[in-house]
Structure 1
């Protein structure tokens, strides 16, 4: 036992402790929040769980979405997150909300551990500790992804990303079939979790391989050491196996994409041109969150301390004594990703059409953190690598503490209530209420034949609401007089109906058609007719008594993809079982154990600060009622005595023409709104003429009927001042209206006195 303990790396425990600090906010409240993307990920996980329990272990069809017509989202959206959440739920007996939270927790711990091991092996241990802290406390990974956006799938993919670097780096420098298999599994996991994250991560791997091969070639030419040809097969196998293991997903998703709709990708709100990040925001301090707000106000920041440490790491390339070529690689990659997030890269985005599928340039914040974090670790080189150098442990402890304390405001996500029960009826009720359709934004992945989405069937909605296991799939309105259609059996990807009819007719099912759906009439295959314009499955039924079997079967592409993944899995298993030599000792000098004591003390200190802050309410705002702590100006009023106006922000009152004029409004619901209101902001002169305006279908992009009564809404507007705007004085007017009737609703002051159709802000805006 003492010998075993002597081989254990205490840095692993430190890295996991850092990961625990990062996931601490997930345990602040039970369950997970509504009204973020976490909600749709949870509902998808519930669909996968239903399919698994019905015997379909790898579903490609979401059975209950689109009012029960279903659609093939799991054939195009990476499925690993939902399978992990579903199996956690099944094994532990909990719900998929707990399973989804378990995925987030695992992602945080995996990311911290993987980053530590990668930097430890490539550089040294203390650098690995700092890199793990820079990674885990990065605002994007700590808060934006798991809390503000609720992007469970992307968070999982980023959790695996450091392991991709760890194992490919190991294969490149030392070879080995087992490390090659681990590299392949890590690469497949990133792809199966979130392909848009996998693409830049895979790009980093390819650049790393090219970099190492180039350096090895240069060394071989100069006679320093022979080229490591024996490792190249290991690298190639790692790439091929990784892609092959994930082929069950990406191959059909790529080859069958013409069967679904992607025509709205990159349009409107999802146009990348609208989402480039200002350079100053990338280095901004975190915004203190407000517990009284309905949604978080935040910066898309890489973390100011992370950037300072990364810059210090970058500067080591100019010091011959400290220079490392692998640091130069990280400098190049981080510069590339930073470029892709700013509007300087717009031309590149437009030249490369596939870039539109990223939708938001901020998606590159995760890959940027992946290459910035090692640079942050290498900043320790300025004080030594820690092997007996007393300054390095102190510096590492200070860096870890600074990284956490700078991110401390982000460890207080907005409070959330219980997610509630997750069942099939909830999915359909959310769609009927207009919250979404199919858990996607733009009807993406809807079968191509669906030109018009049918209205929900009252019978199907009632069946879902009642919790029935077998949903009636036949459209009863088209049955001939005296005919009947009885559901005999149903799973997520199959139905069996008993049909009795006195005359021939066309059976229409409440299922969208997608390649792979087949129909058998009395055991014999029959042709499917795709109905127009709703794209559902239609079948000609002759008079008599019949059995109709409907099933989604594998197409040749899906079968080939499945066999490729199975073959690669068997090959990976075989390589793992191969006899292998004694593992080589790790290089890079991990240093004595005592060097981590100061880092551990720093972690204990920041935990104490965190606990004290929890009790005293530090690092966050506490708005309640009519008081908005973050509003610059308080101004009370109401619209229709249903929506209350609380205040506003105006940064500048003296403006120039042809400039943007930002105005932020604060609202809350006094009682559940009867309708979804639209909002307008006008800039008017003294005669009432409107010179600039901002209109939104929903204040703060949230339908008013979904507003919580105990939270305020922060509604940001930007008015563009025209070039022809005369110099003079203007006022800002705000109000709510109904776009269906063009009615403007009456406004009242805080005493209930009628103001008219809008609320006038008291400030005078001067244009020069």
Structure 2
């Protein structure tokens, strides 16, 4: 059979008047001059006039025309019948009145040669329309773009062309508008058709076409209202799959954070979030971006906090601070968001494998994992909580990239991976091996060798996005006392958990992790979590014959969870000693972050055991989640709550001293052998000789002093020396040797008698300059690509559902 290039589908319902006007003659005249093969499918939609008789006579004497006769079912049914009959590589459907002449298809075919998968007409000149009709059309198009199809300028033009496979898939998928009324109302099926195409990532091209108004009947005044209701119905129907479980998840998360939303403040182990947010706020005020140096921390001597400490939560917090929230409220928002986002991203990840109800279970389990409560409500480990939140995003993006082998998924892999780095770089050491095994499994399963370059690009890109932080951490580590991170209390050998603490104990405490079998803090995985993880092995057995890969990846995730639980136990000490870098994690029980990730994901698989019993699955899901919430919700409470505590209380007295001195040895500049025991004696001082100092200006990146020296003197700035600080005396740069101050490594400048203006500027080192440039370029490219992807400007191909 000869290959057909173009199929033309023309529906007809009571079109005898238009037929006698000769509208089909123009179709014949155009097609007989084409060099490519073609066919025309005329679909009689149960006409009650002479249309069927006239079409039969026409087809009998015209080559290439076929007639499909059907019981009246409306335009959607007629066009669908014609499309399913089409044999051409390209399928175009056109209105019978030829308001847009078929000759316009020539420009459409050129777009298909360039890679288009769907080309639609856009009526530029609407000749014959009244002002009211034009206004109604513009209003309708505006509402369509606002509600469901942004970027599509004319959904209702009756001239559209598709690749054959695309047309047949889309028309078969029509579900909301396929049963339109049979009274002449056409419905909003074009909108559903285009929405399905966009959702699947087809490349849609819009072209201007000639269009003339042909009066074919009186439009019911209710038709625009009906179509608007159709569009709202479409929006709700296609949102329904995820909206209900997502809304439920948000509601179910409330007990996990409701106490935090109250007025006041709360104590925790790492009660330094407040001070870190203050530092970030002052960096923005001083235009020190990226933020690296604080003038207030280090007991007032300054401190390179964000040169080493992961900054993401506090950059996010600054958005809310810019909205004039108090520092305390910003910290509360970050706590609440970390819990909510962890649940939503787990839902996004798990629903791919277990469906929406299984995803809901996994999301709830992740939010209410006991270790999640330990991290936030006991330890106050804000950064670790945010890293935990992004774990599911990385796994989801890796799976999608490998499964679909699409460049668009490079973006989320890079973004989520960089966010883990920027939230808690040490957790990345734990997470990378699990992510590597996960990616390797799917590479083997899908035999997706072509995805490897995309994985390399996404990994490199994520490093670029986080370079402004990660490169100084690596190359400027030598400038700070990081050895204290693994010494004394922070030595990993003192912080293994016992099997009883992991699997049996439900004792809850707000104390510390100490050496020995008894801790005053909980390290439980959670009965429900490890119980459902065991049940997932039964699910794996169910799949063993029909879907072996699904069975295998369940076993894989179980093995990953079990391995990381093993790392929390003292029997794994040989692995910790063999990998010295792991020792910077300080607490082996931190591996519970991966354990709760794995067990929460596996917990959602239980819905598969009841997948044939839909009602049981929904009811069972809700019961299981409510039991989980009831079982764990009391863990999500602060030990104490100070209802009248405000920012000013935290910014003064002993509370502020705690913020500026606690953890001071972690990143203390190496030129200070030990932390200071007292605050500085002013911003600067004369330590030898006589002189007078006036502070002209001081912020986090610049200090200016007017110095009057009577006798030769040594001038000392009471700010720790750290690479990046440059000093000038009357505009001339001077070199300082921080070793001159053997106590704290402060810069000292020898001055003879006279008046001087001394300026200290905190500048970028070469490492920081390069890392900032890398990140600026990486983020710029990322944002452009993200915009193009969101705007559907890039050439996205079809995406199959998993």
TM beyond 0.5: yes
1:363/1:549 Cα in 2 relative to 1: closer, same or farther (>3 Å)?
Answer: same
1:88 aligns with 2:344: no
Aligned residues of 2:695 and 2:704 also touching (Cα < 8 A): yes
- Which whole-Å CA distance do the structure 2 matches of 1:42 and 1:409 have between them? 25
- Which whole-Å CA distance do the structure 2 matches of 1:479 and 1:338 have between them? 59
What corresponds to 1:401 in structure 2?
626
Aligned residues of 2:274 and 2:659 also touching (Cα < 8 A): no
- Which whole-Å CA distance do the structure 2 matches of 1:549 and 1:268 have between them? 40
- Which whole-Å CA distance do the structure 1 matches of 2:752 and 2:538 have between them? 79
For residue 607 of structure 2, the aligned residue among 380, 397, 416 is: 380
What corresponds to 1:537 in structure 2?
747
- Shift of the alpha carbon at 1:363? 1.0
Q: Deviations over 1:284-341 (max 9, x none)?
A: 36446799xxxx9652111101110011113333342475222122122112211110
- Shift of the alpha carbon at 1:17? 2.4
1:190-589 equivalent positions in 2, closer than 5 A: 190-217=420-447, 227=448, 229=450, 231-284=451-504, 286-287=506-507, 298-319=521-542, 320-321=544-545, 323=548, 324=550, 325-384=552-611, 389-418=614-643, 420-422=645-647, 426=651, 429-430=654-655, 435=658, 438-440=661-663, 443-457=665-679, 459-460=681-682, 473-476=683-686, 478=687, 480-481=689-690, 483-530=691-738, 531-578=741-788, 579-581=793-795, 584=798, 587-588=801-802
1:197 aligned counterpart, secondary structure: helix
- Which whole-Å CA distance do the structure 2 matches of 1:436 and 1:413 have between them? 19
1:111-130 equivalent positions in 2, closer than 5 A: 111-130=342-361
Aligned residues of 2:681 and 2:718 also touching (Cα < 8 A): no
- Shift of the alpha carbon at 1:474? 1.1
The CA RMSD over aligned residues, in Å, is: 2.5
2:719 aligned counterpart, secondary structure: strand
Aligned residues of 2:532 and 2:603 also touching (Cα < 8 A): yes
- Shift of the alpha carbon at 1:47? 1.5
1:33 aligns with 2:266: yes
What corresponds to 2:383 in structure 1?
153
Aligned residues of 2:525 and 2:596 also touching (Cα < 8 A): yes
1:506 aligned counterpart, secondary structure: strand
So what's the TM-score if we normalise by structure 2?
A: 0.65
- Shift of the alpha carbon at 1:259? 0.8
- Shift of the alpha carbon at 1:510? 0.5
Q: Deviations over 1:82-114 (max 9, x none)?
A: 2222331222x1221111111111111111110
- Shift of the alpha carbon at 1:486? 1.0
- Shift of the alpha carbon at 1:436? 7.5
1:59/1:540 Cα in 2 relative to 1: closer, same or farther (>3 Å)?
Answer: farther
Q: Which runs of 4+ in 1 moved over 6 A?
A: 288-291
1:69/1:331 Cα in 2 relative to 1: closer, same or farther (>3 Å)?
Answer: same
Q: Looking at CA atoms only, which structure, 1 or 2, has the larger radius of gyration? A: 2
- Shift of the alpha carbon at 1:419? 7.4
2:258 aligned counterpart, secondary structure: helix
- Which whole-Å CA distance do the structure 2 matches of 1:503 and 1:90 have between them? 48
- Which whole-Å CA distance do the structure 2 matches of 1:424 and 1:26 have between them? 18
1:536 aligned counterpart, secondary structure: coil
Query: Please, which moves more after superposition, 333-342 or 158-167?
Result: 158-167
> Unpaired runs of 5+ in structure 1?
218-226, 461-472, 589-768
- Which whole-Å CA distance do the structure 1 matches of 2:614 and 2:268 have between them? 50
Q: Deviations over 1:354-413 (max 9, x none)?
A: 1211111121111111111111111332233x6x64432233223212222221332443
1:132/1:544 Cα in 2 relative to 1: closer, same or farther (>3 Å)?
Answer: same
1:359/1:419 Cα in 2 relative to 1: closer, same or farther (>3 Å)?
Answer: farther
What corresponds to 2:294 in structure 1?
62
1:39-50 equivalent positions in 2, closer than 5 A: 39-50=271-282
Q: Deviations over 1:628-649 (max 9, x none)?
A: xxxxxxxxxxxxxxxxxxxxxx
What corresponds to 2:363 in structure 1?
132
1:404/1:256 Cα in 2 relative to 1: closer, same or farther (>3 Å)?
Answer: same
Aligned residues of 2:267 and 2:639 also touching (Cα < 8 A): no
2:722 aligned counterpart, secondary structure: coil
1:265 aligned counterpart, secondary structure: helix
Q: Deviations over 1:509-567 (max 9, x none)?
A: 10111111110111121101212132111122233211111011111111111011111
For residue 311 of structure 2, the aligned residue among 79, 92, 104 is: 79
- Which whole-Å CA distance do the structure 2 matches of 1:536 and 1:423 have between them? 30
1:552-701 equivalent positions in 2, closer than 5 A: 552-578=762-788, 579-581=793-795, 584=798, 587-588=801-802
- Which whole-Å CA distance do the structure 2 matches of 1:263 and 1:290 have between them? 27
> Unpaired runs of 5+ in structure 2?
1-231, 512-518
- Which whole-Å CA distance do the structure 2 matches of 1:309 and 1:207 have between them? 22
- Which whole-Å CA distance do the structure 1 matches of 2:509 and 2:491 have between them? 28
Aligned residues of 1:67 and 1:431 also touching (Cα < 8 A): no
Higher strand share: 1
1:360/1:5 Cα in 2 relative to 1: closer, same or farther (>3 Å)?
Answer: same
- Which whole-Å CA distance do the structure 2 matches of 1:248 and 1:359 have between them? 25
- Which whole-Å CA distance do the structure 2 matches of 1:500 and 1:414 have between them? 54
- Which whole-Å CA distance do the structure 1 matches of 2:650 and 2:337 have between them? 29
Query: Please, which moves more after superposition, 389-398 or 305-314?
Result: 389-398
Aligned residues of 2:422 and 2:469 also touching (Cα < 8 A): yes
Q: Deviations over 1:704-752 (max 9, x none)?
A: xxxxxxxxxxxxxxxxxxxxxxxxxxxxxxxxxxxxxxxxxxxxxxxxx
- Which whole-Å CA distance do the structure 2 matches of 1:516 and 1:368 have between them? 41
